[in-house]
């Protein structure tokens, strides 16, 4: 079909359904009736002469033709956004929304407080912080940029080392005062631990408990490091935690800090076309700025929390 005969509004609707994986959810986001969305999807498929979605009980799944169209439409979307930023280049006010994906502990304990300052610096930018205990799928446009514990391998992404961070073994003061002393690693077998649900750990970088205390009882396991943090604060066991999390509780104390010292890396990544958007670049640069200012905190060294206005 000639390009001039394609209804561009229907392509925008197609993009929304592809990202939501649901016509009903796309209709809600667009402020349209569900019947209107499905009718216009059928019209687009008829115009293109191809089925774009498989309608399943779980939602709308892209067909091979749908995936090909999605690539074209996303490039069109990015080009139009860049055109808008270029034409409006005389204005120094950055606008729009940016979705940032992050791991749970880093997103909740480090990024969220700093992002409040970023929003004050750029009041016309709306930030959406997506915190999940898994990898963010940038190829499926789950976010505009993401911070992960492994270097992303996807094609078409801009990736950089954001910062190293340290983890140590922690217990509460109450726990240490009421249980046998821990003087060396072999003493750990007599203590209880909180850790991850082993089969649901999303990265080998998080499988450290088995190497530290393989035979120690683990009465509570969770997919959430924040849940482990709160469990340790209750004084019922030990857990390996990022130093930047543990530092926010005066109750938590490092255990065998010289023997148990784990270093990991956070990576920042964005799809190549999204990385060029001014608002995404602004957030990318801000994150690099705040981790540089808080390097001692992230590495478990003496140093106070520093905000960046």
Domain range annotation of the chain: 3-87, 94-309
In a 10 Å sphere around its CB, with 0-12 CB exposed, 13-18 middle and 19+ buried, how is residue 283 labelled? buried
How confident is the model at residue 261, as a pLDDT? 92
User: What average pLDDT does this structure show over 182-189?
Assistant: 90
Q: Which CATH number fits domain 3-87: 3.30.420.140, 3.50.50.60, 1.10.10.10, 3.40.50.1370?
A: 1.10.10.10
Q: Which residue has the higher pLDDT, 4 or 38?
A: 38
Q: Tell me the C-alpha to C-alpha distance, in Å, between residue 154 and each of 134, 150, 157.
A: 16, 12, 6
Specify the residue for token string 């009718």.
39
pLDDT bin (cut points 50, 70, 90) of residue 15 is confident
Is pLDDT above 50 for 95? yes
Is pLDDT above 80 for 190? yes
User: What average pLDDT does this structure show over 268-288?
Assistant: 88
How confident is the model at residue 83, as a pLDDT? 56
CA distance 179 to 237: 10
Model pTM greater than 0.85? no
pLDDT bin (cut points 50, 70, 90) of residue 240 is very high
Residue 309 has a CB neighbour count (10 Å cut-off) of 6
CA distance 258 to 265: 20
Is pLDDT above 80 for 307? no
Q: Tell me the C-alpha to C-alpha distance, in Å, between residue 101 and each of 146, 267, 305.
A: 4, 12, 22
Q: Would you give the DSSP letter of residue 59?
A: E
Is pLDDT above 80 for 92? no
Is pLDDT above 60 for 2? no
DSSP assignment of 114-164 equals: HHHHHHHHSTTEEEEEEE-SS---GGGTS-SEEEESS----TTEEEEEEEE
Q: Which CATH number fits domain 94-309: 3.30.565.10, 3.40.190.290, 3.40.50.2000, 3.40.50.300?
A: 3.40.190.290
Residue 166 has a CB neighbour count (10 Å cut-off) of 17
């Amino acid at each position: 079909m000639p390009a001039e005969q394609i209804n561009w509004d229907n392509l925008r609707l197609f993009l929304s359904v592809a990202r939501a994986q649901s016509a009903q959810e796309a209709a809600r986001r667009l402020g349209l009736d569900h019947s209107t969305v499905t009718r216009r999807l059928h019209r687009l498929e008829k115009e293109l002469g191809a089925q774009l979605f498989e309608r399943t009980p779980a939602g709308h799944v892209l067909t091979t033709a749908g995936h090909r169209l999605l690539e074209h439409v996303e490039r069109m979307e990015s080009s139009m956004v860049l055109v808008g930023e270029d034409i409006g280049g005389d204005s120094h006010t950055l606008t729009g929304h940016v979705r940032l994906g992050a791991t749970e502990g880093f997103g909740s304990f480090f990024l969220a407080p700093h992002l409040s300052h970023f929003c004050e610096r750029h009041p016309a930018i709306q930030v959406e912080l997506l915190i999940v205990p898994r990898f963010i799928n940038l190829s499926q446009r789950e976010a505009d940029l993401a911070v992960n514990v492994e270097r992303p391998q996807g094609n078409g992404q801009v990736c950089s080392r954001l910062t190293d961070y340290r983890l140590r073994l922690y217990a509460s003061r109450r726990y240490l005062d009421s249980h046998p002393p821990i003087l060396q690693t072999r003493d750990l077998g007599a203590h209880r631990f909180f850790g991850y649900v082993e089969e649901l750990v999303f990265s080998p970088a998080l499988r450290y408990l088995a190497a530290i205390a393989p035979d120690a009882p683990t009465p509570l396991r969770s997919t959430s490091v924040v849940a482990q943090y709160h469990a340790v604060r209750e004084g019922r066991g030990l857990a390996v935690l990022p130093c930047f999390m543990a530092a926010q509780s005066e109750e938590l104390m490092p255990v065998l800090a010289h023997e148990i010292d784990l270093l990991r890396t956070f990576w920042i990544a964005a799809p190549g076309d999204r990385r060029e958007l001014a608002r995404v670049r602004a957030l990318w640069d801000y994150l690099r700025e705040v981790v540089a200012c808080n390097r001692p905190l992230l590495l478990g060294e003496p140093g106070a929390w520093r905000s960046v206005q």
